[in-house]
Amino acid sequence: METGAKKWIIVITVVLCTLLELIDTSIVNVALTQMMGNLSATLAEVSWVIAAYAIANVIVVPMTGFLSEQFGRRNYFGFSVVLFTLASMACGQSTNIWELVAFRFIQGIGGGALMATSQSILIDTFPPKQLALGQALFGMGVIIGPTIGPTLGGYIVDNYDWPWIFYVNVPVGILATIFTFLFIKDPESIANAIPRPLRELDWAGIFLLILGVGSLQFVLEKGETEDWFESGMILAFTALAVVGVVGFIWRELTAKNPIVDLRVLTRSRNLALGAILSFILGFGLFASVFIFPIFTQRILGFTAAQTGFMLLPGAVVAGLMMPLIGRALQAGVPQKFMLPFGFGIFFLFTFWMSQKISPTAGEDDFFWPLILRGVGLGLLFLPITTMSLQGLRGKDGAQAAGLTGMLRQLGGSFGVAIVGTYLERNVAYNRVALLPNVSLYDTETQQRLQAFTQNFMNKGFSFEQARQQAYQVLDFTIMKQASLITYAQTFTMLGLFFLACIPLLMFIKRIRNAGPVDLNAAH
């Protein structure tokens, strides 16, 4: 355990690294249009800038426990920070789209270690009585990071050029590298670990992990743009994902020295349930962050920076709740009591949002629903994390942290993919459903068309041109109404999904004689 200024330097280092990793998952989204113009890329090509980072990330996360043991946690963490920083610089220097994609993949390899390893470092930095504070700081980074990304990215794109979304990582990365090697030390369990010889490594497991999880992430990232299973490429990668994931599970359950010890799931029912809940948490966290900016920017005409600032108060509330939740857990309040409130509050948030969807909605309309979202996330993140890791020790804890981190990230990918597809498909469906209500023989419709036509004629259009423009405006109005209905339905669907998860909580096992939550289990 560390004390004094050294402890807080370590805290600042690892929380900043966690923020860097999570910000970079979303900061690029708002700069894609500018990248397309500067790098002469198509939308399909530039989407690989996001996909490459996500694929590399999700492959590395479950291996962080093994890699920390193999190379030393400080060395692995420091190397990852250096790799992330150098790749960030290289991304900004890229002169064509495929250079940028390649460097984003490398950046994702470095970034994959930052979050999971940061968590275990924090746990070893704080004494037992202060572990709730350490986890709270980590939780703040996890929840605030995806929110800051679009805000910071929007500001940079509005005021500078797109390479600066990568250059901002460099000074923080350099500082984090220096602090890592000066102040972070390995715990005895890792410092005394004997690295495995190369011939004894689980090469088959590594290959199947890359094949299965990488292919699955590819399908989730590219499925919507490729029209899902109408595409031969998506079908092929789906088959690879199934073969890879099934083969990986079989290999890790039977191998003598697995790269990811899945057998730990059989030793802890709470971990198995926590892995499922981590997936659900990732689904809700990333899906809600994904849908809200699309609504505000496409329908309400807000900028990315405006949307980001709207999301910030709720994220700050979630972060501020972390110490309170941590103290309650340390005092012995069971997770089984907190989690139903978290899921219920998240349902209320989505229901409230569905009622606020309108073409005239403003920032004030969403302030309190987003605050409620922050409260719900605060009641979910820390209880799920501690429930998953409670009762685990040493290597089991490290493996568990990697597994839950991977599933939280995969849950986010599933959430974005499913919600994105639902939005695209249901807008068209709702438009068709609205058309019977719009008849050219209807008096109100005729009056609207006449008003639109006259408005365009007043601007100098001929009658034929004005009438054509009037029909387009009417069609746009129908499409906008269909979009509003779809956004409201999507929020409702998301809320019902969370509500349906509450019965799972009955299977949480209260660990006898465990006492208050001891987060030392996580390293």
Reported as a single tens digit per residue, the pLDDT across 357-394 is: 888 888 889 999 999 988 988 888 888 887 887 766 55
Please name the residue ranges forming H helices in 255-268: 264-267
CA distance 89 to 95: 12
Reported as a single tens digit per residue, the pLDDT across 79-91 is: 999 999 999 999 9
Identify which of 132-141, 261-270, 357-366, 422-431 has the greatest average pLDDT: 357-366
Q: Which of 73-77, 186-190, 221-225, 512-516 has the lowest mean pLDDT?
A: 512-516
CA distance 36 to 475: 29
Reported as a single tens digit per residue, the pLDDT across 2-52 is: 556 777 788 888 888 888 887 887 778 777 777 888 888 876 677 788 778
- Dihedral angle computed from the Cα positions of residues 233, 235, 236 and 240, in that order, rounded to the nearest 10 degrees: 130
357 contacts 295 by C-beta, under 8 angstroms: yes
CA distance 404 to 147: 21
DSSP 458-522: HTT--HHHHHHHHHHHHHHHHHHHHHHHHHHHHHHHHHHHHHHTGGGGGGPPPPTT--S--GGGG
What's the pLDDT at 193? 63
What's the pLDDT at 3? 58
Q: Which of 200-204, 280-284, 435-439 has the lowest mean pLDDT?
A: 435-439
End-to-end CA distance of the chain: 13
* Whether pLDDT at 450 is above 60: yes
CA distance 32 to 104: 14
CA distance 243 to 265: 21
Top-level class of domain 267-523: mainly alpha
What's the pLDDT at 517? 46
What's the pLDDT at 516? 43
- Per-domain boundaries in the chain: 1-190, 202-258, 267-523
What's the pLDDT at 129? 63
Question: HEC states along 428-467?
Answer: HHHHHHHHHHCCCCCHHHHHHHHHHHHHHHHCCCCHHHHH
Going along 135-230, which residue ranges are E strands? none
* Banded model confidence at residue 107, pLDDT cuts 50, 70, 90: very high
CATH number of this structure's domain 1-190, picked from the four choices 3.40.190.10, 3.40.50.300, 1.10.290.10, 1.20.1250.20: 1.20.1250.20
Q: What residue has token string 């892995």?
A: 275
Query: 149 versus 244: which is more confidently predicted?
Result: 244
Q: What is the mean pLDDT of residues 503-508?
A: 82
Please name the residue ranges forming H helices in 331-357: 335-356
What's the pLDDT at 394? 56
| Average pLDDT score over the chain | 80
493 contacts 362 by C-beta, under 8 angstroms: no
- Dihedral angle computed from the Cα positions of residues 158, 161, 162 and 164, in that order, rounded to the nearest 10 degrees: -100
Enter the tokens of residue 47.
Answer: 């989407």
CA distance 66 to 358: 50
Same fold, 1-190 and 267-523: yes
* Whether pLDDT at 513 is above 60: no
Reported as a single tens digit per residue, the pLDDT across 287-346 is: 887 788 778 877 888 877 787 788 888 888 887 887 788 778 777 788 888 899 999 998
Percentage of residues in the chain having pLDDT higher than 70:
87
Shortest CA distance to 184 belongs to which of 355, 14, 407, 47?
A: 14
What's the pLDDT at 100? 92
Reported as a single tens digit per residue, the pLDDT across 464-497 is: 777 777 777 777 778 888 888 999 999 998 889 8
